[in-house]
Amino acid sequence: MANWVLKGLRTGIKTTSYPQQLETAQGTSPGRPCGMVLESTEKAEDLVARCPTQAIAGQDGGVAVDIRRCIHCSRCRSDSDEPAVPWDASYEWATYNSDAAAAVQALEKVFGRSLHIRFVDAGACSACVSEARQLNNPYYNMHRLGFFMTPTPRNADILLVSGPVSDAMRHPLGKAYDAMPEPKRVVAIGACAIFGGVFGSSFAAAGGASKIVPVDVVVPGCPPPPLAILHGLLLVVGRKPPSQPVSPVTEPIGEPA
Amino acid sequence: MATLDQIAKPAAQSENFPELYRRVWNRPVSVANVGKAAVYRVDCEPQELTQLWQWLIQDFDFAFATLIVEEEPNGGRSLTYVLYRQPSQWVYVDLRLGPEATAVPSVVGLTHGPSADWHEREAEDLFGITFAGHPRLGEFVLHEDWPEGVNPMRGNLDARQPPVHRDPDAKWQPPMVVEALGAFAMPVGPVFSDFAESAHFLLETVGEDVIRTIPRLFYKYRGVEKIAEGEAVDCALLLAERFSGTAAFAHGLGFCQAVEAICGIEVPPRARALRTMFAELERLRHHAAAITGICNSTALAVAASQAALIEETLLRLTCEVARHRYLFGAIKPGGLACDLTEVARGRLAAAVESVAQKLYELHGMLRYSSSFLDRLEEVGIIKTDDARSYGLVGPIARAAGIDHDFRKQFPYAAYESIKFTVPVEQDGDGYARLRVFFREAEQSTSILRQILSALPEGSVCAADIVWRAGAALSAVEAPLGAAFHWLRILDDGTVARYRITPPSFTNWHGFHLAAENFAFQDFPIILSSFGLSNAECDR
């Protein structure tokens, strides 16, 4: 056993400095597509048509991108000379689900700085589950921020939901929510939990967590990287501001018009 | 018709299959060659099915791959039993049911019949076909509040309408087998206290030890096969990648290979090599995650952290070279959506060495941690005969002494030109599975090294695709084992039928064999040493 202690000590500290500083290591996030100025409407229409989930919308003079509908399929970026939108390397994507943000914010203080989390997999593809699981690994270590998993919904402050809510999971999800004491919050992680993702609403899936339980915070991404989920949790306790989910029509930074 | 014992087994195995089939069954067999594999297609009447099954399995050593059901325009259904054997032979047994007919004999009670057990139960739920003689139909994919007689895969159900529910039978009781004084069943799931996938387990116990485990899956059934119907190939690819996110590339590859087989697309050599590379990168990451899970379940915290560091390193590496941590959007029919830059290639080559070294060190330390081995050895044993009878695949089958790997025996992508071994262990317990995960990960690093040192030049995608109507089966070795993708498309490039047989579906069926007569505290260890994905199974 002494070997293991030594091994652990030798490995040193690997934990990210987020949220004190932004994480700059490569590969922590797939990044997100951004809105851009386009000179022709044909190019805008082409981009809108290439997006399978209507995350890209044509607007005056270009396209805007809503990260909440993005599934990172990369079809709006291209290695050839087709029109492509720029992608940044961000991950702070979490935002309030509704415009009643003021009411949500007023309640943030009741949680203090700590949260107990109940996770319900409502039909996720398991990439969301895998990314959430990374929060326990030494790189992200959510415990240092006062976030803990709880074995019972009775002790839970927030319900973390992934997946489009498959038909058989609608009752377990609803029951988990009902069993939680007030005040409580629901955080939907991933495109599927936000709007159904590639599965949509069908005979087998509700098409989003908000069809079953009231969702307060959404964490976009397919899957949202661990840092994005962390941002969502920090948003719930009021330690980080929400993101701007729609990237407007703007000039790409560093590129001439 | 000849009877089984008229043909001696040794003779049957060495003889030319189609000729022998014609002679014994006095019926035509169509022979097609797909690449290096031979595909034999035979027709079968329902009443002959059991005899033909026995003949193929017992005398010819064929193994069952999948059952494909398709609805025909007149409301009838066709059933295709797909079987394979080495070297490179497939048999498709076609069976037709008229619009009024609903029953087919079950093969479950025959030799290796259990391998078709869940396929029959699934077809009963989704297509309303009765398998006469099957001991337990119903209550499988569709749970208790799904109305009787509504079969989602049939044409008359609109996939985009919300489900209609019924009140579950108030008298419904979970199936219990153990009858003993004080016996009770402990339910676990579908929601767990950790970041775990949804599934339900009924542990039948008499107090200390669990006698039997009854898993109940399909809580995550999203009807992927149904909602893919009528979609363009591009959109169906999104479903193929995203129904099981931790094996996205393998299933994307399975789907794309089926499209390429139908449309006669030649994939450029560079794309074949890179596909192999991405598939192995995914396997490496997947196995690192499986090892993390096993260390976690035994509460060996430092080892779990070390394995998790390797897993996250691989996720970041994947994202750097392929733009996505789980390889979503990397593949497309005809090749790949992105090329590997020279910078990325150098980065990958260096990182693979470092990961290989770290895995080697971790394995070395785990082998000498007796408290850890005590938890894994002789826990969750799968016997070789059972594994064969249940048709188990992947690392679980290889840990139980079955030397089978589709990369080796039915090579695709660039596997034919790669040197690698298929690790096989005989013990069939949790430790054997851990060893297989480590040894396969080591092989993956070796494959990556070979590809990165000799990457062909050229394009990574074939020219534009001309759609052709047709159907094809594609088999890939996903991280968890053999995955079969059956695809039928129309000439406008829309999907008419998509049938996925993922390895987790095949292997969850065998889980109960490993979860018998064990102590309560071993349950998480048996689960983690299987390392199965519910999303992949449920679809």
Q: What is the pLDDT of residues B97-125, one digit of tens each?
A: 888 877 899 998 888 888 999 999 999 99
Examine the pLDDT at B2 and tell me if it is beyond 50. Answer: no
Location of structure tokens 């669990």: B210
Report which residue type is found at B60. Answer: F
Q: What are the b/e assignments for B459-470, b being 16+ CB within 10 Å?
A: ebbbeebebeeb
- Separation in Å, CA of A41 to nearest CA in chain B: 24
Chain B residues close to A132, C-beta within 8 Å: 195
* Tokens (6 digits) for B224: 């992927």
Q: Are A243 and A101 in contact (CB under 8 A)?
A: no
Tokens found for residue A217: 């915070």
State pLDDT tens for residues A109-156. 667 777 899 999 999 998 999 999 999 999 999 999 989 999 889 999
Residue B354 reports pLDDT greater than 60? yes
Work out the average pLDDT over A33-39: 86
- Please, are residues A237 and A207 in contact by the beta-carbon 8 Å criterion? no
Q: Is the pLDDT of residue A102 over 80?
A: no
**Given this chain, do its domains B4-132 and B242-530 carry the same CATH topology?**
no
Q: Which of residues 242-271 of B touch A (CB under 8 A)?
A: 242-246, 248
Say yes or no: A24 contacts chain B, CB-CB below 8 A.
Answer: no
Residue A107: pLDDT band (50, 70, 90) is low
Across B39-47, average pLDDT: 89
Bond prior to A19 in cis (omega within 30° of 0)? yes
Angle at A227 between CA A222 and CA A230, to 5 degrees: 105
At A256 the pLDDT is 38
For chain A, the residue count is 257
pLDDT tops 80 at residue A1: no
The answer to whether A204 faces chain B, any CB pair under 8 Å, is yes
Mean pLDDT of A172-191: 92
Element spanning B501, H or E? strand B495-501
Separation CA A191–CA A70 (nearest Å)? 7
B321 vs A186: CA distance, rounded Å: 34
Query: How many CB atoms lie under 10 A from the CB of residue A143?
Result: 11
| Chain B touched by A90 (CB under 8 Å) | no
CA A28 to chain centre: 13
CA distance A24 to A194: 27
Burial class (CB in 10 A: 0-12, 13-18, 19+), B427: middle
Tokens of B119: 């396929």
* 3-state secondary structure at position A167: helix
Residue with tokens 């009447």: B45
**Closest chain B C-alpha to A20 CA, distance in angstroms:** 21
Could you give the strand order of the β-sheet that contains B89-97, starting from the edge strand earlier in sequence?
A: B30-34, B37-43, B89-97, B77-85, B63-71
Instruction: Decide if pLDDT at B6 tops 60.
Output: no
φ, ψ dihedrals at B243, nearest 5°: -75, -25
Q: What is the DSSP string of A135-150?
A: GGSTTT-GGGGTEEE-
Comparing C-alpha atoms, which of B66, B29, B148, B56 is closest to residue B110?
B56
Nearest-neighbour CA in chain A from B289: distance (Å): 9
Which chain B residues have a beta carbon less than 8 Å from that of A213?
A: none
Does residue A141 sit at the B interface (CB-CB below 8 Å)? no
Cα–Cα separations (whole angstroms), residue A128 to A11, A157, B167: 27, 20, 32
Strand partners, B265: none
User: What is the rounded average pLDDT of the residues A83-88?
Assistant: 85
Q: Does A73 touch chain B (CB under 8 A)?
A: yes
CA B39 to chain A, closest CA, distance in angstroms equals 33
When pLDDT is averaged across residues A31-56 and rounded to a whole number, the result is: 87
**Record: contact A139-B311, CB cut-off 8 A:** no
The verdict on A80 touching B (C-beta cutoff 8 Å) is no
Closest partner residue to B535 (CB to CB) among A118, A124, A204 is A124
Distance CA B229, CA B238 (A): 13
Contact check, Cβ <8 Å, B198/A120: yes
What is the pLDDT, as a whole number, of residue B183? 85
Q: Please provide the DSSP assignment of B436-495 as one string.
A: HHHHHHHHHHHHHHHHHHSPPPS-SB-SPPPP--EEEEEEEEETTEEEEEEEEE-TTSBE
Query: B82 pLDDT exceeds 90?
Result: yes
> Contact A220/A67 with Cβ under 8 angstroms?
yes
Which positions ≥6 away from A130 have C-beta within 8 Å?
A223, B245, B246, B289, B326
Write the pLDDT tens digit of every residue in B248-302: 999 999 999 999 999 989 999 999 999 999 999 999 999 999 999 999 999 888 9
Q: How far apart are the first and last CA of chain B?
A: 41
- Is B172's Cβ below 8 Å from some Cβ in A? no
Q: Which residue has the higher pLDDT, B155 or B286?
A: B286
Nearest to A53 by CA among A73, A32, A78, A38: A73
Within 288-317 of B, beta carbons closer than 8 Å to A belong to 289, 292, 300, 302-303, 305-306, 308-309, 311-312, 315-317
Q: Is the pLDDT of residue B157 over 80?
A: yes
> Which of A14-28, A76-90, B359-373, B488-502 is predicted with the least confidence, judged by mean pLDDT?
A76-90
pLDDT in tens, B14-29: 568 888 888 888 888 8
Residue numbers in A near B311 (CB within 8 A)? 134, 137
* Interface contact A27-B325, CB threshold 8 A: yes
pLDDT in tens, B473-500: 999 999 999 999 999 999 998 999 999 9
pLDDT at A255: 43
Residue A239 tokens read as 């330690």
Verify whether the Cβ–Cβ distance B312 to A137 is below 8 Å.
yes
Q: Where do runs of H (alpha helix) occur along B210-300?
A: 224-228, 233-242, 248-263, 269-297
d(CA A120, CA A150): 12
Q: What confidence category does residue B10 fall into, taking pLDDT thresholds of 50, 70 and 90?
A: very low
Percent of chain A with pLDDT strictly greater than 70: 91
Using a CB–CB cutoff of 8 Å, tell me whether B221 touches chain A: yes
Residue B272 neighbours by CB under 8 Å, 6+ apart? B413, B414
pLDDT above 70: residue A178? yes
The band of B7, judged by pLDDT with boundaries at 50, 70 and 90, is very low
Q: CA nearest A153 in B: which residue?
A: B193
Cβ of residue B492 closer than 8 Å to a chain A Cβ = no
| CA nearest to B398, candidates B370, B440, B363 | B440
Q: Identify the pLDDT of residue A213.
A: 92
Q: Do B246 and A130 touch (CB under 8 A)?
A: yes
Predicted local confidence at residue B11, as pLDDT: 46
Measured between beta carbons, which residues in chain A are less than 8 angstroms from residue B161? 202-203
The SS3 assignment for B8 reads coil
The torsion of the CA quartet A57, A61, A67, A68, rounded to 10 degrees, works out to -40
pLDDT at B9 over 70: no
Which residues does A197 contact at the CB level (< 8 Å), separation at least 6?
A53, A71, A164, A190, A191, A222, B242
Average pLDDT of every residue of chain B: 89
Q: What is the three-class DSSP state of B159?
A: coil
| Residue B48 one-letter amino acid | E
Option in B152, B238, B246 nearest A203 (CB):
B152
Q: B324 to chain A: nearest residue by CA? A: A30
Instruction: Kindly state whether A95 is in contact with chain B, defined as any CB-CB distance less than 8 angstroms.
Output: no
CATH number attached to the domain at B4-132: 3.30.460.80
Q: Which of B276, B333, B322 is nearest to B454 (CA)?
A: B276
* Element housing B53 (H / E): helix B49-54
Structure confidence at residue B181 as a pLDDT band (50, 70, 90): confident
B395's enclosing H/E stretch is helix B394-398
Q: Residue B331: its pLDDT value, please?
A: 93
Chain A hits for B535, Cβ within 8 Å? 123-126, 129
Q: Quick one: pLDDT at residue A106?
A: 53
ipTM: 0.91
| 3-state secondary structure at position A61 | coil
pLDDT, chain A, mean: 86
DSSP per position, B319-361: HHHHSSTT-TT-EETTEESSPPPHHHHHHHHHHHHHHHHHHHH
Question: Nearest residue on chain B to A161, judged by CA atoms?
Answer: B195
CA angle, B353 then B356 then B361, to 5°:
125
Q: Which residue of A has its CA nearest to B338?
A: A79
**Over pLDDT 70: what percentage of chain B?**
97
CATH class of this structure's domain B242-530? mainly alpha
Q: By the CB < 8 Å criterion, does A71 face chain B?
A: yes
Q: In chain B, what residues touch A123 (CB-CB under 8 Å)?
A: 198, 219-222, 535, 538
Is residue A201 predicted with pLDDT exceeding 70?
Answer: yes
Establish if A200 touches chain B: CB-CB under 8 angstroms: yes
Give A83→chain B minimum CA distance, Å: 15
**Tens digits of per-residue pLDDT, B321-341?**
999 999 999 999 999 988 898
In this predicted model, what pLDDT tens digit does every residue of B359-406 receive, in sequence order?
Answer: 999 999 999 998 899 999 989 999 999 999 999 999 999 999 999 999
Whether the CB-CB separation of B43 and B79 falls below 8 Å is answered with: no
* Chain A CB contacts of B248 below 8 Å: 125, 127
What residue ranges do the domains of chain B occupy?
Answer: 4-132, 242-530
Chain A residues whose beta carbon lies within 8 Å of the beta carbon of residue B219: 123, 166, 168-169, 172
